[in-house]
Amino acid sequence: MATQTQHSTTRRDFLFVATGAVGAVGAAAVVWPLINQMNPDASTLALASIEFSLAGIEEGQSVTILWRGLPVFVRNRTAKEIEEAKAVPLSELKDPATDESRTKEGHENWLVMIANCTHLGCIPVGESGEFDGWACPCHGSQFDTAGRIRKGPAPTNLVVPPYEFINDTLIKIG
Amino acid sequence: MSEHSTYTPGSGIEKWLDERLPIIRFSKEHLMDFPTPKNLNYWWTFGAILVMCLLVQIVTGVILAMHYTPNIAMAFDSVEHIRRDVNGGRIIQATHAVGASMFFAAVYIHIFRGMYFGSYKAPREILWILGVLIFLLMMATAFMGYVLPWGQMSGWAATVITNIFAAIPVIGTPLLELLRGGFSVGNPTLNRFFSLHYLLPFVIAAVVALHIWALHVPGNNNPTGVDVKDSRDTLPFHPYYTMKDLFGMVLFMIPFAWFIFFAPDILGHPDNYIQFDSQVTPAHIVPEWYFLPFYAILRAIDFNLLFIDSKLLGVIFFGGSILILFLLPWLDTSKVRSGNFRPMFRWFYWLFVINFVALTYLGAQPADGIYVLLSKICTAYYFIHFIVILPVLGRIETPRPLPTSISESVLSKSHA
């Protein structure tokens, strides 16, 4: 018996490790669907794109709509707000982005952004804060008239979702 | 610790059972004869009080689940239904909600008692670590329970807390969607939180069993911090400490009952009586009082550090403020357990307590003006206490002479 235990690897050791490895892979394969069921389901994913009519939103008016369960700000900006946003030098910005990069060409008055603060997801309050944009009531982040982060803990600008103009008064988000 | 057992099966049935499942022997050893230091003060009754709190939450929670509906269309109304229509539901729901606060009040006292008397020091490190684990599980359970009534505070707490995970680089957003079961907090989120809120208390109960097991290996610490030397230092757990613990529970039930019967909503927020609206955040959102110190730390970090942005950094500090408790047994370098014999530690201990209370206060204040600066100072001090003060104190402090034994310290007190 003593001679057998001195063998470094035996056929039995190999089978033992191989069985264990297959067992581990099998266990992982079983666990994955048990976790994956928590991911967004088909009915949630089915709401991926919506169309929204801009007709009826006056200059200076802002509406909040839902896209994939997320609130989205659609704001018809005033000329003063656009000017303010354009006047800010990029060097003053925490997450530098030009005003043009946050709107669509020829539709610069329209600002479309996901309404959740990029810090922890609260909904900032419009037309408030030191920068005439949005101020988040939760942790004090402040955004300017182009939705760019100017002050507070939020790391990035309010997110512009993928969208396009179908015609002058109709947009498709997603 | 079978050596302390005096159990001899009396009847034939007891003898038969003892040879197959020695459950009576086990209970006698651990619940009755267990040798317990004879100088334990009332701060030591909070362990038993916490077991009571867990039982109260489980019993009331199981009852509430018989009447609650975990669906975003009906959850809010079903809680109102419990409060208005269900027989005795008003009291049972209040007991569960107030019970969460009382549970945390007791656990904070229990933790701070352990910190003062050095209960985390060798050989009780595992006991302490299991305790911190229970604390973490309690936080998760309380958070998910708070979401269930589906009021404004519920929904926004769910949004903000799940968003914390989005700060993790690379896997953050997929993880966030996995947790929520959608792009925003919605019905899948509520449903899984209900499932997990029902599960976790039983996980806590299991870790509590481990916690008590780990306690019964070295036995209780005590106010002198001196090890038990012989049987003159101890008393059997029953009847001495079963009665003392019961008396402690009765005293604890007085404020508990006062809240339930006279002010069930005083610890909550009026905003939570408005149904969750994913398009409007309440003007001033604050978590429940027991999360405020950690919330203040999360909010205090509004600056970037090197390549780490403010959001991730806040989350690192927030997580670190709790995780650092796991390391406490090794951060405190002093060999003396009890703060009673550590003249310098005592000052810093109370300073830490005051700082913790200050963080609680700051967590409830709006995030602007002087509060932001004060939060930063208190956050810094919280970490300095663990990382600088405790390791240094153990080296420079001269502790007062320790009594040679527990019984000597008890006797010298009674003669004085």
**What pLDDT, in 10s, does the model give residues B299-327?**
888 777 778 877 889 889 999 999 999 99
Distance CA B161, CA B154 (A): 11
- Residue B232 forms part of a structural domain: yes
CA dihedral A129, A130, A133, A135 (to 10 degrees): -30
Number of domains in chain B: 1
The whole-number pLDDT of residue B309 equals 79
Sign of CA dihedral B74, B76, B80, B82: positive
Closest chain B residue to A140, measured at CA = B367
- Residue B7 forms part of a structural domain: no
- Residue B129 forms part of a structural domain: yes
The domain spanning residue B341 has which CATH number?
Answer: 1.20.810.10
Mean pLDDT of B157-164: 91
| pLDDT at position A153 over 60 | yes
Test mutation, B279, B312, B316, B370, chain A, max A CBs within 10 A = B279
Distance of CA B242 to the CA centre of its chain: 22
**Between A126 and B333, whose confidence is greater?**
B333
Distance of CA B320 to the CA centre of its chain: 16
Q: Which of A88-97, B151-160, B181-190 has the lowest mean pLDDT?
A: A88-97
CATH of region A45-173: 2.102.10.10
- Residue B25 forms part of a structural domain: no
Q: What percent of chain A has pLDDT over 90?
A: 26
Q: Tell me how crowded residue B412 is: count the other CB atoms within 10 A of its CB.
A: 10
- Residue B28 forms part of a structural domain: no
In 3D space, the residue among B415, B406, B379 whose CA is nearest the CA of residue B37 turns out to be B406
CB contact (8 A) between residue A138 and residue B302: no
Q: What contacts B42, CB < 8 A, 6 or more positions away?
A: B244, B248
The whole-number pLDDT of residue A5 equals 55
The A-side interface with B (CB below 8 A) comprises 35, 38-41, 44, 64, 66, 68-71, 94, 115-116, 118-125, 136-140, 152-156
pLDDT tier, B2 (very low <50, low <70, confident <90, very high otherwise): very low
The whole-number pLDDT of residue A7 equals 63
Q: Is B69 left (phi over 0), alpha (psi -120 to 50) or beta?
A: beta
Distance CA B219, CA B212 (A): 10
Q: What ranges do the domains of chain A cover?
A: 9-39, 45-173
- pLDDT tens digit sequence for B212-231: 999 999 999 999 999 999 99
Mean pLDDT of B134-152: 97
Closest chain B residue to A151, measured at CA = B302
Q: pTM of the prediction?
A: 0.90
Distance CA B109, CA B47 (A): 10
Q: Which of A75-84, B139-148, B337-346 has the lowest mean pLDDT?
A: A75-84
Q: For B151-244, where are the E strands, in sequence order?
A: 234-236
Annotated active-site residue A139? The verdict is yes
Test mutation, A74, A120, A122, A150, chain B, max B CBs within 10 A = A120
Q: Which of A20-29, A124-133, B76-85 has the lowest mean pLDDT?
A: A124-133
Closest partner residue to B181 (CB to CB) among A41, A66, A140 is: A41
Mean pLDDT of B32-46: 95
Sign of CA dihedral B314, B315, B316, B321: positive
Provide the mean pLDDT of chain A: 87
Looking from the CA of B18 toward its CB, the CA atoms found within 13 Å total 14
In 3D space, the residue among B165, B138, B186 whose CA is nearest the CA of residue B288 turns out to be B138
- Residue B5 forms part of a structural domain: no
Distance CA B119, CA B329 (A): 9
The whole-number pLDDT of residue A45 equals 82
- pLDDT tens digit sequence for B359-379: 999 999 887 779 989 999 999
- Residue B20 forms part of a structural domain: no
**Between A10 and B135, whose confidence is greater?**
B135
In 3D space, the residue among B277, B296, B291 whose CA is nearest the CA of residue B143 turns out to be B291
| pLDDT at position B1 over 70 | no
Question: What is the Cα Rg of chain B in Å?
Answer: 24
Sign of CA dihedral A16, A22, A28, A34: negative
CB distance B278 to B156 below 8 Å: no
The whole-number pLDDT of residue B5 equals 65
The whole-number pLDDT of residue A131 equals 87
**Catalytic entry in A7, A107, A119, A139:** A139
The whole-number pLDDT of residue B415 equals 61
Distance CA B397, CA A47 (A): 65
In 3D space, the residue among B133, B136, B134, B142 whose CA is nearest the CA of residue B100 turns out to be B142
- Residue B27 forms part of a structural domain: no
**Start-to-end Cα distance in chain A:** 71
The whole-number pLDDT of residue B413 equals 75
Domain that holds residue B274: 34-415
In 3D space, the residue among B158, B365, B153 whose CA is nearest the CA of residue B265 turns out to be B153
Distance CA A162, CA A14 (A): 54
Task: From chain A, pick out residues whose CB is under 8 angstroms from the CB of B188.
Answer: 38, 40-41, 44
- pLDDT tens digit sequence for B339-354: 999 999 999 999 999 9
The B-side interface with A (CB below 8 A) comprises 156, 159-164, 166, 177-184, 186, 188, 192, 278-285, 299, 301-302, 304, 309-312, 314, 366-368, 372
Q: For chain A, where are the E strands, in sequence order?
A: 50-53, 62-67, 70-76, 110-114, 125-126, 132-135, 142-144, 149-151, 163-167, 170-173
Distance of CA B219 to the CA centre of its chain: 21
